[in-house]
Structure 1
Amino acid sequence: MFGYATDETEEAMPLTLQLAHQLNAKLHALRRSGELAWARPDSKSQVTIEYKFDGGACVPVRVHTVVLSAQHSPSITLEQLRKEVLEKVIKAVIPAHLLDDKT
């Protein structure tokens, strides 16, 4: 077992982990509310962040990659699923200043 605390977030958790947890929580909330009726209970997420060193501190520059794997009904198209996840989950959770056209 290993672990550490960081000043990246108020929770003293790494920002990548915090955002991944928030993505799953948002997807879960939207599924429970019925807004994402196609979503099923199982999901996994991973967030990769690009950092720069600034005076010895590691500062997040941008979100490089978001992987959100979600069980879903077969009735939704891949195009619609991607659009809804991007707009309703990813953009709702990840701060806009960390997202760019390469994310």
Structure 2
Amino acid sequence: MIPRLGWSGTEDPVLCHTCDSHGCTNPAHLRLGTSAQNRTEWAQRHRNPGGPLADLRGAAGRTRAIAAAVHAGLTRGEARERIDQRIRAAEQGGLPLTLW
């Protein structure tokens, strides 16, 4: 149990999100950790140029692009595979260009 809301000390328990997708609500992507662990893991993932935290649109912009891709596919009655392609394209659309 997390005893309180608000700012936490470094060793207080917090809910850590492991996939960094702003709109994700999958319970399998959540775990209990400390604030210090959460910040350290975030800093490590933040350096990944292909990860969600590198998206130039920001977390909310990335989520809006993915939601729009899903909505467009559903509106057109597309197959799941095509909607998955739309999602991957939306995810890639905001990532910075890299040489590796």
TM over 0.5: no
Larger radius of gyration: 2
Name the structure with the higher helix share. 2
TM-score, scaled relative to structure 1? 0.32
TM superposition score normalised by structure 2: 0.32
Larger strand share, 1 or 2: 1
